[in-house]
Every structure is written in structure tokens, then in C-alpha cells.
A = this chain, B = another copy of it.
Amino acid sequence: MLFGALEAGGTKMVLAIGNENGEILEQVSIPTETPSITIPKIIEYYKGKEIAALGIGSFGPIDLDKKSKTYGYITSTPKLAWANYDLVGNIKKELPLPIGFDTDVNGSALGEATWGITKDVESSIYITIGTGVGIGVYLNGGLLHGMLHPEAGHVLLSKHPDDKFEGVCPYHPNCLEGLASGPSIEKRWGKKAIDLKDNQKVWEIEAYYIAQALVGYILTLSPHRIVLGGGVMHQEQLFPLIRSKVTELLNGYVRTSQINDMEHYIVPAALNDNQGIMGCIQLAKMELQNK
């Protein structure tokens, strides 16, 4: 059986066809322009491909409440052409199929939980640290939505004593995204992350912020495993620094076999940066099963 998968990002759209085993059979990328340019291209791609359902993991914020009049919309995004845009509805008009819909990062959490590094545990979170910071939460076979969906890239943190940088978030002077996203690293140090590999202070400060956020997630969501993905996390030297800081900050308070085995508790994404699009395949499958 074939499924369509669409990872809708603010700068590019990844379109793929996969099967029920999460195998990607074909994949293309197109730039995210305005809906009137981009949506017809998306529809064109999937038409005639005989997919049974489509799964969309979208940038946000989005409306995931099936009882809401604006279910399936991208809502208050600063990308104005897409603000208050009925993404699911406009695609469904031309592709009358079951369409699964969730946040991009819930898609990644689902991809890893279905086929990747968290497939053996009941609950997990996936954190992407790149241009922005987002988290997806997988719990007991489903994805966490709640009132809206997690926006835990914006959790508030204490500043590192040596960090005088004011952050890049327009909303919060001291949130994770403002202090630890790729753009914040670049603005703080005047270079891209990839060109700062040998500057230890960069990664000490970065790990300090990421670890603080993880401690909050651990205490609040109690996930069985934490996956870190996104461009910044390609700097693999961060992992031991983060694990050690999380252990220091928890200070023995949470005692579980998982926490005692940090190397297998805080782990890199394992699906070669395909966790998002593979998660969209699973969103499609789940939507079809729920019909």
C-alpha cells in the first residue's frame, strides 16, 4: 500500500511516497513560496500516485483540534502568506483522501517511535535544534496535542553566567530557541556553528541551555527516552556535554534505570534525517486506520 508524506517547512516542502513499512520510494523538495504557487505543485505531485492516505507534518503554529472550525489550518505564523491558511482543507479539495495532520516535530517524534531509536519504548520526546527549536511528544501510542501542541522550544531558562548575549527570540529574552538555536549561535559568536567546532566555550554554553530544557522536560513529561535532532545536533561533541549537565542538574533526584544509563537515554536521531518524512508516512497510516 502506498502513502503520501508531506513535510511542510517554512523554507521547503519535502514530498514523498512511502509504503507501510516506512520505506521511502521517491522523494522531492520544493521551495516554500506562497500557497497559490506551492499548493498546486504539491497536489500535482500526489495526483495519480495511487496513495491510500496522506500524512502532513507542518510548521506552525497549527490547529490540531478536530472539533475546531479552523482544524487543519496554519494559524498565527510570521510567514504571512501562510497565516490562517487552511492547509488540510485546500489539499483535500483536490485530493479527497484521509489526511493525517500534525506538527513537523511531532512527525519526527512519530517517525523515530515507529521505525527508529525510540521504537522499543512507550514514551519519548524528539527535540529539533536548528533554525528553530521544537519538541514532539509521543505517549502511549499517540502524539501529545493538548490545548494547542507543545511549544517547548520556548521554555524559559536561566542565563549562563558568562553569556551576555540577548537571544534572538522576539518574544522571550531567555528562552531555549532564543539562546540555543542555530541563528542564536551564529549571532552570538559571529560565525556559523559548523565553523566553531573547536571553540569549547560555544558548546559549553550550548549544552548548558539544552540540558536545562531537558531537565524541565524530564521532570514534566517523564519520557522513556529523549532524541535530539536538527542541524545544531550534528555537532556530536554536544551529546556528552549535555548528558553530563543533565545528570548534574537533576542531582540524583530522579532515580530510574533509564536515567542511570544516560548514553541510551539522551540519543541522536537515528533515521538519517528522514525521521520527519517517515513520521508523515505513519501519520497517513494512522489516519487511514482511524477511518
| Bound Cα distance from A145 to B220, whole angstroms | 10
Which residues on B sit within 8 Å (CB–CB) of A192?
none
Q: Is the CB of B146 within 8 A of A222?
A: yes
Stretch at the interface among A1-9, A12-20, A27-35, A151-159: A151-159
**Contact of A172 with B253 in the complex, beta carbons under 8 Å:** yes
Closest-by-CB residue of B relative to A215 is: B156
Q: Are A139 and B150 closer than 8 Å at their CB atoms?
A: no
B253 contacts A171, CB within 8 Å? yes
**B156/A216 in contact, CB under 8 A:** yes
In the complex, chain A residues 243-268 whose Cβ is within 8 Å of any chain B Cβ: 249-256, 258-259
Contact residue among B140, B142, B221, B256 (Cβ-Cβ distance under 8 Å from A221): B221
Q: Name A220's contact: one of B155, B158, B159, B256 (CB within 8 Å).
A: B155
A149 interface residue per 8 A CB criterion: yes
List residues of chain B with CB within 8 A of the CB of A255: 61, 75-76
Q: In the bound complex, what is the Cα–Cα distance between A219 and B150 (angstroms)?
A: 5
Query: Once bound together, how far apart are the Cα atoms of A135 and B221, in whole Å?
Result: 11
A254–B158 contact, CB under 8 A?
no
Contact: A256 with B147, CB < 8 Å?
yes
Shortest A273–chain B CB gap in Å is: 25
Contact partners of A61 in chain B: CB under 8 A: 255
Among residues of B, the one whose C-beta sits closest to the C-beta of A121 is B147
Q: How far is the CA of A144 from the CA of B145 in the complex (A)?
A: 13
In the bound complex, what is the Cα–Cα distance between A219 and B157 (angstroms)? 13
- Checking B122, B139, B155, B174 against A216 with a beta-carbon cut-off of 8 angstroms, the contacting residue is B155
A217 within 8 A of B: yes
In the complex, residue of chain B having the shortest beta-carbon distance to the beta carbon of A61 = B255
Given contacts A123-B147, A146-B223, A158-B174, list 16 more A-B pairs with CB under 8 A. A75-B255, A139-B139, A140-B142, A144-B222, A146-B224, A148-B222, A150-B222, A151-B219, A151-B254, A152-B219, A155-B219, A155-B220, A156-B212, A158-B158, A171-B252, A221-B221
Binding site for B on A (CB under 8 A): 61, 75-76, 122-123, 135, 139-140, 142, 144-152, 154-159, 171-172, 174, 212, 215-217, 219-224, 249-256, 258-259
